[in-house]
Amino acid sequence: MDPLVVLDSVNKHYGELHVLKDISITVGKGEVVVIIGPSGSGKSTLCRAINRLETIDDGTITIGGTPLPTEGAGLAKLRADVGMVFQSFNLFAHKTILENVTLGPIKVRGKSKAEADKRAMELLDRVGVANQAAKLPAQLSGGQQQRVAIARALAMDPQLILFDEPTSALDPEMINEVLDTMVQLAKEGMTMIVVTHEMGFARKAADRVVFMADGQIVEDRKPEEFFTNPQSDRAKDFLSKILTH
């Protein structure tokens, strides 16, 4: 495995609360890692630490062998290289779908408008919303907006995309259209770290499932092994709760 993201003994506190406890994990290039675990276990904090939206107290995080920059041009480059898709789509409300996708490539990557437009239209086509390019985000369904958010992340040619519960704000009938897009990306070899409770996605697309509880990585195994034979009581208990819903 060619490592892309390496966390080594990462700790983080919010005041008295120890939210990340000695986290060590390596994600290889092209790997898809699903992170699951109870609410408050530190999944979002972990994602946010990887693109440095949060600082860590100690330990190291490297991406492509380079330690996370703390500020300046290095940090901007890191943010450009690490895509992020959140639960809420975070599109710019007053910009068209096309402009939402071209903004980063023009401002950060220095692409010409023509070049950025062409690539954006290809990506919007790929996620199935090219015909919405001239609209404003509010004129699209939640599922369509989330696919635009994925196209926007891809437009930066990221080394890695972090997804934090990308389908949990969507109506049920829209969840699959977003998951299908993500499965496709996974097949194409994108490196992905995905916080989700969508077990179908984990089974279909994940190379590994990482189970977190109380700020610790409790299990890190192949999806089939994890779902059919969880080792820890925490994971057994968690799975019994989510799989009966």
> Which residues of the chain form contacts with Mg ion (CB under 5 A)?
43-44
Contact flag: residue 39 with ligand ATP (CB under 6 A):
yes
Q: Which of 43, 52, 111, 119 binds ligand ATP (CB under 6 A)?
A: 43
Min separation Cβ 61 and ligand ATP, Å: 15
Q: What is the full DSSP assignment across 140-208?
A: S-HHHHHHHHHHHHHHT--SEEEEESTTTTS-HHHHHHHHHHHHHHHHTT--EEEE---HHHHHHH-SE
Q: Which is nearer to Mg ion, 120 or 218 (CB)?
A: 218
Q: Exposed, middle or buried, 164 (CB in 10 Å: 0-12/13-18/19+)?
A: buried
Which partner from the list Mg ion, ligand ATP, none does 92 bind, CB cut-off 5 to 8 Å by kind? Answer: none
Q: Which of 44, 100, 145, 191 binds ligand ATP (CB under 6 A)?
A: 44
- The DSSP bridge partners found for residue 7 are 25, 61
Contact flag: residue 51 with ligand ATP (CB under 6 A):
no
Contact flag: residue 45 with ligand ATP (CB under 6 A):
yes
Are β-strands 208-213 and 216-221 bridged in parallel, bridged antiparallel, or unpaired?
antiparallel
Contact flag: residue 12 with ligand ATP (CB under 6 A):
no
Cα separation, 3 vs 5, whole angstroms: 6
Contact flag: residue 213 with ligand ATP (CB under 6 A):
no
Binding site for ligand ATP (CB under 6 A): 14, 17, 19, 37, 39-45
